[in-house]
Chain A
């Protein structure tokens, strides 16, 4: 590969946790700050960049590859809000074929097209499907494509579980040139205990939280307009939260190799938090506890 153009960042997290929303808003914020940005959806659903493009159709790399032998960059990309170059890897029909291999094939195709040399991005963001289910979905962090991985997580156990799985993958590949972990993006923060829970998990795994994104109606509203918050409500507090995340990713070079918890540790940790939340909700007052 030629010398890498720009910072390459992969965003992981449990299905439906807010990866695409968060990634798109970060892309939009980076673009607003004057950077050249590419966002690549590595998800067969191919809806990663929807809110950057006003919901317009965009043929995926794999669909194009299926139909024609020669693929051109203009066939598979669209310029979205703030000049962000939007690309969707795409994938097979659910239940058929191998999506993992699809991600591989799409990324190979992008390299063949020399997208990064042509576009000269400052940032490339990979929005990767849910859990790291197989080797295919580890491609962005495995093959030296991305230098940093971030994980989006809420305070649900399942999203923490998925984050821990990502840590396992990073832990496995980072020593041999794979991506290191930039940190956790806490999303959909609503409950009072949520930041403390995520902070505690970060502490246990040797990582940290780079930002807390509140659950907000503005997000839903902007989504209905087919827009990012940055575009639809630039003055909102929520937009500022995303701008701060973008600024952090831009300015910060910190990264770690996380120390994932093993299954019994994770279960034990979750049970302890279960007890604590129960006590808070039911108003059990411990000695010395400040309320």
Chain B
């Protein structure tokens, strides 16, 4: 380790796995670790993502191990906890996740899961110590557990609809707009005759996951979706399409045309849908024009967020909204090869324009580069507000951690998301603009 990290936005692997499991109806996570791990998930993650958390904190089952279990092994404690959980909490699937202490000791988790299955309990497991990786890694581990273990435990009951598309790469809470974004993506797919498998949130359940192997295609929306897509390709030979960022505005049209091409859908239907959606968005642009010019919306911006957000929102603001990308900060730590790919893609947003692109999860580094760019508006997590105040520029909070905004259904994906983004961005500009002060 070369330097310390200040206020990292990327919590631990255990929390990534919990994000996923808690977003599926009927899945009951069982934490096998010290008691702080579950609390930290609430304090450090779910509570900081648009205010959607269970009152107080989510009631999550945890083995709450102590020194005794570290010394003698915590297997029996987990066995007991699993038994009690199955008794007390109704669920369709129980998912054991582990933390640092139990993994350091080396408790035999697969054996405990097997014991549970021998009792006819539907139990999956994944080893998710925080020292093994961050929240994105945990998301991967949990996906892997579901993809690999679920088919052995529960037999699929329902028929798989034709035209089913799995959507990957949106991590609950790590993208505060995950529910709305998934809904809008689903609406887009339906618009061209496909059946979206959203998998997370809004009533998605274990049955949705049982349909995964039967999908026509895997669509992944961020670099973090590549892993499950690859797993599924290996297991079921399902093809996949990558869309590196959340598609905002016209980027949605590009995606829909690619899907239509790839899956040989009815192009007329697709074009009709796109025309309807785009013309509506264009009208909204037109209505915004007066404010746009009077308040000087066309300015340099700094954007801080996960790669899918920075690509999707950044490209939209530049390509469709005429704004100037001064500083782009990607906080989710993608692998080096992905960084290179993203880097060249971001550099191409506005050829010849001087954009600072930074990959970092360190608050002070992020704030330094944002500050140095002297942007005319900052879009980022709630942590960036202090820089906006310091620079006296408008601010829009849209990435994790998001603790000064409520996000229930809002989306920034798709056509509707684009309109919502314009509303929020425009409001922030006006609220912080001289134009208001002069008018009053």
Contact = CB atoms under 8 A, between A and B. Distances in A.
A105 B71 CA distance: 8
Interface in A87-142: 91-93, 96-99, 101-102, 105
Interface residues of B, number: 13
Interface in B3-56: none
Contacts of B75: 96
A75 B361 CA distance: 53
A66 interface: yes
Interface in A249-274: none
Contact of A91 (B69, B71, B74, B106): B71
Interface string B91-132: 000000000000011110000000000000000000000000
A110 to B, nearest CB: 15
Contact of A62 (B69, B71, B104, B105): B71
Contacts of B69: 97
Contacts of B407: none
A233 interface: no
B67 interface: yes
A92 B73 contact: yes
B335 to A, nearest CB: 31
Interface of B: prevailing SS: helix
A66 B77 CA distance: 13
A65 interface: yes
Contacts of B73: 92-93, 96-97
B287 interface: no
B68 A101 contact: no
Contacts of A92: 71-73
A91 B68 CA distance: 11
A65 B70 CA distance: 13
B78 to A, nearest CB: 12
A92 B73 CA distance: 7
Residue of A91, A96, A101 with highest tally of chain B CB at under 10 A: A96
Nearest to A106: B71
Contacts of A66: 68, 71-72
Given A92-B73, A96-B75, A97-B73, A65 B105 contact: no
B77 to A, nearest CB: 11
Nearest to B108: A96
B105 A105 contact: no
Contact of A96 (B68, B72, B104): B72
Interface string A16-46: 0000000000000000000000000000000
A93 B104 CA distance: 16
Contacts of A98: 70-71, 104-106
Nearest to A103: B71
B99 to A, nearest CB: 14
A105 B68 CA distance: 9
B226 to A, nearest CB: 36
Interface string B324-335: 000000000000
Nearest 6 A-B pairs (CB), nearest first? Answer: A96-B73, A97-B73, A102-B71, A97-B72, A92-B72, A98-B105
Interface of B: 67-75, 104-107
29 contacts: A62-B71, A62-B72, A65-B68, A66-B71, A66-B72, A91-B71, A92-B71, A92-B72, A92-B73, A93-B72, A93-B73, A96-B72, A96-B73, A96-B75, A97-B71, A97-B72, A97-B73, A97-B74, A97-B105, A98-B71, A98-B104, A98-B105, A98-B106, A99-B71, A101-B67, A101-B70, A102-B72, A105-B67, A105-B71
Interface of A: 62, 65-66, 91-93, 96-99, 101-102, 105
